[in-house]
Amino acid sequence: MLKDFDIAFTDKIKAWYPNTIYAATDIVYNVAFNLVDDKSLENALSFPLISIYRPSGFKLNPNQNFAARKRGIILTSDDTTKDRIMARFLVVTLPYQLDIYTKKPEDLDDITEQIMHALNLDQKFMVIQTEEETEENYNEAYDIIYDSGPSEMSEFTDGDRVYHYSLLYNVENARLINFKTTPSIKTIETTIDVEGSDPDNL
């Protein structure tokens, strides 16, 4: 599920820089520049700050595997009932925007450089998607791939300065899992009636 990727990506960055939140870009922007009051961000919004979001949603990749989309791969199999939990998936590209806000230009450069170094040296992150009924997990590691930035987004208002860089990274070939329980075929029985049949056609 998409939220599992969002949580895992945010936790990856948060492990390096604790003051990281996942929130809509426009909301953080408006609160950061004192354009609106948002109580949900009241405690989280202190500077320096990193906010993460997928502003452009996601893109379905063209190279979809038909069997994986329709039937899926076996996640678990019950030896007693012979039932299986199948993991069907869509393969997508997820663009993540990291917005870095500071009150000092030197802090902006330092934090941006540190985050880019960290993602260059350790770009992998683990995503866990869980089947709700059985609580079986589908675990897979993905790479965080640099796309563009940092782009200068700083703005200055009367009596206030907020320095702002924007970075874009992609998670390619992300598997969005859809779980399905399917019964296995246990036996196949066939009966052939040969009475009165032409032996040459058997």
Residue 166 sits in a domain whose CATH number is: 3.30.2000.30
In a domain, 56, yes or no: yes
Which structural domain, as residue segments, surrounds residue 89? 2-184
Give the model confidence (pLDDT) of 28-86 as tens digits: 767 666 544 555 555 556 788 899 999 878 888 876 666 655 555 555 555 554 566 67
pLDDT at 184 over 90: no
Average pLDDT over residues 163-176: 91
Give the model confidence (pLDDT) of 120-154 as tens digits: 999 999 998 887 776 677 788 999 999 998 988 77
- Counting the structural domains of the chain, the total is 1
Average pLDDT over residues 93-110: 92
In a domain, 190, yes or no: no
In a domain, 140, yes or no: yes
pTM score of the predicted model:
0.74
In a domain, 9, yes or no: yes
CA–CA dist 1, 12 (Å, integer): 17
In a domain, 199, yes or no: no
In a domain, 200, yes or no: no
In a domain, 198, yes or no: no
In a domain, 60, yes or no: yes
